[in-house]
Amino acid sequence: MYTEEKKEPDLNEESFNKLKAVILEKAKEKWACERQYNRACEVSTMEELCNIIRENIYWCVTREVLSTHLIEEFRELFAANNIFSNCDLTHQDGLVLVDGDEKVSVDNNVMVCACGNACINAYGKATVYAFDKTTIEGHDNVEIFAYDETNVNVIHNAKVSAHRDAKVRASKNTLVFANDKATVFAYECARVNAYDNAVVSVYECARVDAYDNTMVYAYDLSTVYVNSGQVIVKAKGLATIISCGNIECNLIEHAIHRILNVNGDNKIVYASDKITFEKSSEYIPDESNNK
C-alpha cells in the first residue's frame, strides 16, 4: 500500500513568515503609511520585503523597525539578500546597519545606516545615513546624509546633506547641503548650500550659497553668494561677498562686499585703504567678421 511521504517544513519559509510578521507589527506600531504597509503585507518573498526596506531605509531605521538585533536574529535570511549588521563590507554591494561603538569600513555601492557612537570609513560610491553621535570619514564619491550630532569629515567629490546640529568638514570639490543648525567647515574648492540657521566657515577657494538665517565666516579666497533671508557674514582675507541687497556684513583686511540691486545699481563695500579700483576700457566687439 502506497503511503504519501510527509513533506518536511521549509525552515526558510517559516523564518520568513515570522520575520515578516515582526516587521509588520513594528511598522503598524510606528504608524507606517498605508501604501507602504500594504505593499509589505502583500510580499511573498524575502527579496521583495528587503526591497521595500531599502526603499524606506531612513524611516525603518529611525523608527527602529529595522535594527541590528533583528538582522542578527534572522541573519541567514538577511545575508542572502545582502543585508548585514556591524561588519566591514568591501568589494561587494549591500546594506550595513551599524550601531553602538562599532568601527566599520565600506566601499563601492554599499549603503550604510549608522547610529549610536559608530565610526564609519566610507570610500568609492558608498552612501551613508548617519544619526546620533556617529563619526563619518568619507572619501572619493561618497554620498552622506548626516543628522543629529553626527561628525563628518569628507574629501574628494563627496556629497553631504547635513541636518540637526551635524558637523561637517569638507574639502576638495565636496558639495554640502547644510540645514537645521548644521555646522560646516569648507576648504579647497568645496561648495556649500546653507539654510535654516546653519553656521558655515569657508576657507581657501570654497564657495557658499547662503539662505535664511545662515551665519557665514569667510576667509582666504572664498566666495559667498547671499540669496535671501537674514544672512550674517563675517569676511576676512581676500574673501568676496556677493548679495542681492544690504545684509549684515563685517569686512576685515582685503575682503570686499559687492551689492547687486534689482534697479541695476551696483555697489562695492571694502574695508582696507590698500584696495584700489581701476575702470577697464569698454569692450567693443569686432563686428567686421559678421559683414
In order, the DSSP letters of 9-58 are P-HHHHHHHHHHHHHHHHHHHTT--HHHHHHHHH--SHHHHHHHHHHTHH
Residue 107 and residue 53 share a domain: no
- The pLDDT of residue 9: 45
- The pLDDT of residue 276: 85
Is 209 a domain residue?
yes
Average of pLDDT values for 143-157?
90
Residue 186 and residue 257 share a domain: yes
Residue 178 and residue 239 share a domain: yes
In this prediction, residue 14 has a pLDDT band, given cuts at 50, 70 and 90, of: very high
Q: Which of 64, 80, 96 is the last residue of a domain?
A: 80
Is 3 a domain residue?
no
Q: Which of 98, 119, 143 is the last residue of a domain?
A: 143
Is 182 a domain residue?
yes
Element (H, E) at 247: none
Q: How many residues are given for the chain? A: 291
Residue 121 and residue 72 share a domain: no
Is 30 a domain residue?
yes
Q: Is the CB of residue 127 less than 8 Å from the CB of residue 141?
A: no
In this prediction, residue 262 has a pLDDT band, given cuts at 50, 70 and 90, of: low
Average of pLDDT values for 196-213?
90
In this prediction, residue 2 has a pLDDT band, given cuts at 50, 70 and 90, of: very low
Q: Is the pLDDT of residue 79 over 80?
A: yes
Average of pLDDT values for 226-248?
87
How many domains are there within the chain? 3
What's the CA gap between 111 and 93, in Å, rounded? 8
The string of DSSP letters for 100-118 reads TT-EEEE-TT-EEEE-TT-
Q: Which residues contact 15 (CB under 8 A, 6 or more apart)?
A: 74, 76, 77
Is 133 a domain residue?
yes
Residue 249 and residue 218 share a domain: yes
Domain extent at residue 203:
155-273
In this prediction, residue 5 has a pLDDT band, given cuts at 50, 70 and 90, of: low
What's the CA gap between 291 and 277, in Å, rounded? 37
Is 70 a domain residue?
yes
Residue 253 and residue 169 share a domain: yes
Residue 108 and residue 174 share a domain: no
Q: Which residues contact 258 (CB under 8 A, 6 or more apart)?
A: 240, 241, 242, 243, 266, 267, 268, 269
Q: Which of 41, 61, 80 is the last residue of a domain?
A: 80
Is 242 a domain residue?
yes
Is 291 a domain residue?
no
Residue 76 and residue 100 share a domain: no
Residue 241 and residue 136 share a domain: no
Residue 259 and residue 196 share a domain: yes
Residue 181 and residue 98 share a domain: no
Residue 159 and residue 268 share a domain: yes
